[in-house]
Amino acid sequence: MGNFDFVRAVFPNCADDCMKAESYIFSDPIAACAFARRAIDVLVEYLHYDVLGLDKPDHDNLDGRTNNPEFRRHVDSAIIRKLNIVRRIGNIALHDEDPNISVEQANVVARELFQIMLWTGYRFTASPDKVPLDRQFDPNLARRAMALNPQQRNKLIASIKNEREKHAQEIAERDNRIKSQDATILAQQAELERMREQIKVMQQTVKPDRHDYTYKEDETRTALIDLMLAEQGWDLRDARSREFKVENMPKTAKNPSGVGYIDYVLWGDDGLPLAVVEAKRTSISPSEGEQQAQAYADALEGLYHRRPVIFMTNGYKTRIWDDRGSGDKKSVGYPPRDVEGFYKKDELERLIARRKDARVLSAEPISLCIAGRPYQQAAIKAVDEVFDARQRAALLVMATGTGKTRVVVSLVEQLMKAGWVHRVLFLADRTALVNQASKAFKDKDHGLGKTVPVVNLLEDDKAASGRVYLSTYQTMMNLVNARELGEDGGDGGARGKSLRFGPGFFDLVIIDEAHRSVYAKYGFLFRYFDSLLVGLTATPKNEVDRNTYRLFGLEYDEHTGGVPTFAYDFEQAVKEGYLVPARVLPVNTKFMDRGITYDELSPEEQEEWDSKDWDETGEVPDKVDANDVNRVLFNEDTIDKILGTLMTHGIHVEGGDTLGKTIIFARNQAHAEAIKARFDAGWPQYGGTFARIITHATRDAQALIESFEDPEGEPHIAISVDMLDTGVDVPEVVNLVFFKPVMSRTKYWQMLGRGTRLCADLFGPGKDKTEFLIIDCCRNVAFFNEHFEESNGYTGRSARERLFLLRLGLLETLDRASEENAGNSERLASAAFGGSDDDLTHYRSGLVRILNGIVGGMDPDGNVLVRPHRLDIETLSNKDWWASVTNDKTVRAAGLAGLPTTFDDGENTGTMSNRTSARWFDLRVYTYELALLRAKAEASGDVGGVDGADGGASGYGVEEPGISPDKACQDIRGVAEQLLDPQKRNIPAIAECAELLEAVAGEDWWTDVTVPMLETARKRIRTLVRYVNNTRRNIVFTDFEDELTIEAESGVTGGGDVAAVDMERFREKAGAFLKGLENDITLARVRMGSQLTELDLRRLERMLLDNGVGSEQDIEAAAELNGGFGLFIRSLVGLDRNAVEMAFARFLDGKRYNARQIRFVNLIVRELTANGVMDGSRLYEPPFIDMDANGPEGVFPDGRDIDVICDILDGVRRTAIPLQKTA
C-alpha cells in the first residue's frame, strides 16, 4: 500500500506518475521530482480545461495555467504555492545539466504532491469520499525502485517533453473541432458538462476539509527556505550546508550533551562560515529563534574564529542579526531587523569584512574639492555621527541650490574609503535628476572620476557591474524582479537565475526628494534593500510630513514638527551668501482671476465668441471658468500682457539691453505653444530663437537644454511644462514666470530653486547676481507663504485600491450586523435589500468572490513586491477565511489593498480608458452602498462600537470613503443625465437602458433605494460611462481685451536694535549708500577683514560727509556707540564669509571636531559675516547657549578651544581699529 493509492479513484491519469514519484525518493531524487512534475502537469491541464472549463491562458503551459487568474480563483493560494514548488524543483530535474536535488527535497516534493492530490481530489471530483483526509504522507509506505541510469533518465526527460508537445497539439486540435461544431467533440463536451454537474452535486454534501496543509519545521526548511537560498545563488549540495553538527553548545537541562545541529550554514570560499540560518515553523515568529541562533553563532565562532551573520526565518518572514561591530569581540553590531530575503555570498563576505575594515566615520576626512562649503561638511559630519551610533538612516533637509548632490557624492567617497559601503544606489523621481547626479558622480574634478564605476540604469540596465548605480524609482521597481540569467518563464530551469538585485546588493541607498508621495508609491524599495539610507529633500523641515521622519527613524511632534539629521534652509543660505534672494512681482489679470463671461464682452468680442468651435455638439457656453483659462482657452491679450510685464520688469543683462535667462512655467503643452506664438508675434526681431519650448514633447529637448545652459547660447527664454522645474541648473537664470497654479509644496520649492544659484560677473566684471525675480501670475508665493496645513501623510490611492477597500467595507458591514444577532441581519435584509435574504446572500457572495480572487491573484513567488505579504495572502486565499469578516480581519485584509494581482473582476469593459471610467462609476455606487448599509445597520440596532485601535470611523476596520454619499449620488445622477442627452439616444446600448437612466436621473428613484437596485444600476450603467466623456471642449484661441494688475513687490526685510531714532536713520542711509559702492577698494578692505589704517577711516568719513549721508556729529556718535568708526562701518557692510572662514580654518584643521562643534563655529561665522564684529561674551548668549545647557564649555569640553575662539574674535575685531603709532 502506498500514499497515492487513492489517486486511481479520483485522478486515474495521474496515478502512475504519483506512485513512481514516491518510489524514487530515496534511490533517485531527480527521477522522483521529474515524475511529480509530470503528474501535476496532467492534473492542472485536466482541472483547467475539463473540470473548470477555463479558456486558454496567454501562455499555455503549466506555469501559465497554474497562475491563470481564473484558475487561481478556484484554487487556494496554499495549493498554488505547493504546485509552484513541485513545478520549480521539477524544472531543475528536467532542464538543468547537473541537477542538484537532495533526498530531502524529493521527499518534500512528494509530500507536496500528496497534499495537492488530497485537496483537489476532495473538491474537484465526484468521489470525495475516496480521499483519505485523515492520513499524512509517509515516505516509508512506498515501494522502493532502483535508480535510473543516465540513459533511462534521459529517455524519461525526453518522453516528458514530447508528451508536453503532444498535449499542446491535442488542445489546439480540440479547440478547432469545437469551433467547427464537430459531433464527436460536442458529445465529449456534453459528457464534461454532466461530470461537472455531478461534482457540483457531490460538493454540496461534503464536510469541511480538516486536513492540515501547513508546513512543519523540516518541511518549511526544504520547501520554502531552500528555494529562497537558491534564489540568491546558494548551492546547498555540500553536506555541511544542512544540519551541521556542533559539539560546543552550552550544556543545559534540555541539552546536557552540548551537541547541536544548525539548520543551515552558509560557507565562504575560504571554508569559513559566513552565516547561520535558524529555521522555524511557519506558524512561529522568527524572533523566537534568536537565542538558539546566537548560540549556534557562538559555537561556530569558537570553532572557526569568525563570527557568522545570523538569519532567522519561518519561510514567510526573515530577520538578520549582525551582532558584531567593527573592532574586537566586545564591539556592538546592529540589533535584529526584518529583511526581505537572504544575502548572496559576496554580500555576506562584504558585510563580514566590514567589521575589520570599517573605520569610525567621525574621524574620517571629507573631500573639500567635492563638498568644500562649511555647511556641506557639517551635513556629512551629522550623517557620520548617526551611522557611527549604529543608526541606519539619515535625513538631510537642504534648500535647492545648496549642493545636496555634492554632499552625497562626498559622503559616498568618504564611506567607500572608510570601508563602510561598496555599492550605492541613488534614486530620483525624474530622469533629469538621475542624469544630473550621474554627471556629478563621474566628474573628474568634483566627483569620483574614473576610480569608481558608475552605472546609469536608465541608459544601461544590463551593465555587468558597478559601484554606484543610479535610477528612477519606477525603473528600479521594475528591475527588482529581474533575474541574473533572464526571467524564469516557468518551464525553464531555476538554478543560476538568482535575483540580480537582492536585498543585500546595495550597502547605501540615497533617496532624492524624500517625501510622502515617494514613500507611498515606492516605499517598498526602501524596505526591500537592507542598506543604510540617506534621504534628501529641499522641502523646508517644518513642512516635511511625519511619515517621512518616521521612515528615517527621526523624532516628530505633532505641534513642533520633526528634527532632521541636518537642515540648511533657503533663508539661512541667502543670509550666508550661498544663494540669492527672490524678489516677487505679483501680477494677475481679470480673466485669470475671474474667468471670462460672455455678457461682459464687447459686441465685437461676443461675435468672435459665437464663431468659435467650442465642442462637437455646437453648443456655445456663456462663461469660461478661471480654471479653464490657459488650460483649454488661450487668450492672446492675456498672454501678451504677461509677456509684456516680463520684457519690461524682468531683470536684464548686458548693460540692460538683453533680458536675462528666463524660465516660463506653462500649464500644458498647448499653453506653451500659445506663449511661444505670442512672443514671436510681439518680438519678431529675435527671429524665433530667443524663446523656445522645452517640454517632454520637444524633439531633441536635451540639446535645447544644453544650449539654454550655455551663458552665451540661446534660447534666453525657456518655456517649460513639468520639465525644467527640477534637474536643470542654470546659474544665469534671473527671471521665473509662474504662469500656472502650483499645488505641490515640493514642486513649488523646486521651481523656486531654478533662480537661487549664485552667478559671478553676471552683469559685468565684479557685478555678481544678487537676486532673481519671480513674476507670479497665480498667487503661488502668497499661497505658500501662508504656511497652510497639509494632510499628514495621506496620498491618493489608486482606483483598484479604493475599490478593494470599499468592497471590504461592505462585507464587514454586512457581517457585523449578523454578528450582533440574527434579528439585526433580518432587519438589515429588510431595510437595505427589500426584504430579500437571497439578494443579501447573493450580494455577499459576489463581494467574497472578487476579494478572494484579487488576493488569490497575488503571486509571492513571482513578484518581490508581493512576497512580504505571503502569509496573509495564503491565509486570505482560503475561501473559508471569508465566511465571517470581523473588524480584525478587515484591518488585516486592508493591508493587501493595492498589491499587484493578475485577477480580473470579470466586469471587463474593453480598453483601458473604458475600464477607468467604469471603475470611476463603481467607486461612486459602492460609496453610496456603503453609506446606505452602515446607516441601515445602525437603524437596525447595530450601534455598538467594535473594539480595536486600528478601526476606522465608528469602529469599522475600513476608513470612510474619500467622497461623501451626497457627492456620489450627485455624480451618479449626473452620469445618467448626460447619457440621456438626445444626441446619445441613437447609441443602442444607451437606448436599451433609457428607462433605468430616466429613473436614476430623477429624485423618486433614490427614495428608499435598496442595494439590489444600486447594483443593477451599477452593472448596467458602468459600461456606458465611456460615452459621457466623448464630448470634450475643444482648444479655443481668443483675442479679448484683458485687464492687467501689478501688485506691490514683496521681499525679505530685517532690522536690528539701535541707540536712538537719529542714529537709526543714519545707519539706514549709510548702509544704503555703502551698498552701492561694492567695488570701492577701501570698503573691500573692510569686508575682507584687512587691517584698517587711519587713512582708511578718514576716506570713509569723507565719503559719507561729501555725499550728504550724515553730519560730523552723526559720525562721532556712531564711533562712540560702536567702539570706533571702523567697527561701525564693519557692522554695516559685514565681513566676507570666505575671509571669516579663513580666520577659523587653522582652528578647525587643528584637530577633529564633531558635527555639533562645527555647527557652533558656523553660528559664529554667520554672525561675523552679517555683523562684521562679535565680542567673546556673545558666546554665552542665545543662540550659542541653546546648544548645550553648560554653555560653550559643554560643546567644547577642552576649555582651551574657547580661549582660542575668543582670541580669533578679538583678532577680527582689532582689524577694524587702526593701529596706534608708536613713539
pLDDT tens digits, 920-967: 899 999 999 998 888 877 765 544 332 333 334 445 667 666 678 888
Mean pLDDT is lowest, of 380-389, 430-439, 931-940, for 931-940
Residue 256 Cα distances to 248, 252, 253, angstroms: 11, 5, 6
Closest listed residue to residue 494, CA positions, set 879, 868, 101, 783: 101
Query: Does position 487 have pLDDT exceeding 60, yes or no?
Result: no
Q: Supply φ then ψ for residue 679, to 5 degrees.
A: -65, -45
Span 670-693, average pLDDT:
94
Report the C-alpha gap between 1216 and 1210 in whole angstroms.
Answer: 10
Is residue 449 within 8 A of residue 494, CB to CB? The reply is no
DSSP, residue by residue, 646-702: HHHHS-EETTTTEEPEEEEE-SSHHHHHHHHHHHHHH-GGGTT-SEEEESTTSTTHH
Q: What is the pLDDT of residue 943?
A: 40
Average pLDDT of the chain?
84
Q: What is the pLDDT of residue 745?
A: 75
Q: What is the pLDDT of residue 615?
A: 73
Query: Does position 673 have pLDDT exceeding 60, yes or no?
Result: yes
Report the C-alpha gap between 438 and 460 in whole angstroms.
Answer: 12
Report the C-alpha gap between 383 and 534 in whole angstroms.
Answer: 8
Q: Supply φ then ψ for residue 468, to 5 degrees.
A: -120, 120
Cell of 413: 567617497
Q: What single DSSP character describes residue 755?
A: G
Is residue 812 within 8 A of residue 957, CB to CB? The reply is yes
Q: What is the pLDDT of residue 960?
A: 61
**Cα–Cα–Cα angle for 208, 210, 214, nearest 5°?**
130
Going by pLDDT thresholds of 50, 70 and 90, the confidence category of residue 914 is: low
Q: What is the pLDDT of residue 58?
A: 73
Residue with cell 524544472: 91
* Dihedral sign computed on CA atoms, order 395, 401, 407, 408: positive
Going by pLDDT thresholds of 50, 70 and 90, the confidence category of residue 787 is: very low
Between residues 87 and 497, which one has the greater pLDDT?
Answer: 87
Instruction: Return all residues near 670 (Cβ < 8 A) that are at least 6 apart.
Output: 632, 634, 1035
Query: Does position 491 have pLDDT exceeding 60, yes or no?
Result: no
Span 1103-1120, average pLDDT:
80
Span 875-903, average pLDDT:
88
Q: What is the pLDDT of residue 180?
A: 60
Between residues 1029 and 949, which one has the greater pLDDT?
Answer: 1029
Query: Does position 795 have pLDDT exceeding 50, yes or no?
Result: no
Between residues 6 and 870, which one has the greater pLDDT?
Answer: 6
Going by pLDDT thresholds of 50, 70 and 90, the confidence category of residue 1056 is: very low
Query: Does position 829 have pLDDT exceeding 80, yes or no?
Result: no
Q: Please report which helix (H) or strand (E) contains residue 309, including its range.
A: strand 309-313
Q: What is the pLDDT of residue 617?
A: 64
Q: What is the pLDDT of residue 771?
A: 93
Query: Does position 118 have pLDDT exceeding 60, yes or no?
Result: yes
Query: Does position 1215 have pLDDT exceeding 60, yes or no?
Result: yes
Query: Does position 184 have pLDDT exceeding 80, yes or no?
Result: no
Mean pLDDT is lowest, of 84-93, 545-554, 577-586, 842-851, for 545-554
Q: What is the pLDDT of residue 1183?
A: 85
Span 549-562, average pLDDT:
71
Q: What is the pLDDT of residue 221?
A: 67
Is residue 739 within 8 A of residue 718, CB to CB? The reply is no
Query: Does position 974 have pLDDT exceeding 80, yes or no?
Result: yes
Is residue 516 within 8 A of residue 547, CB to CB? The reply is yes
Strands 1036-1038 and 1044-1046: unpaired
Mean pLDDT is lowest, of 415-424, 1029-1038, 1115-1124, for 1029-1038
- Give percent helix, percent strand, percent coil of the chain, each to the nearest 5: 50, 10, 40
Going by pLDDT thresholds of 50, 70 and 90, the confidence category of residue 1221 is: very low
Query: Does position 47 have pLDDT exceeding 90, yes or no?
Result: yes
- Tell me the percentage of the chain whose pLDDT exceeds 70: 87
Order of strands across the sheet that contains 242-246: 242-246, 260-267, 273-279, 309-313, 318-321, 337-339
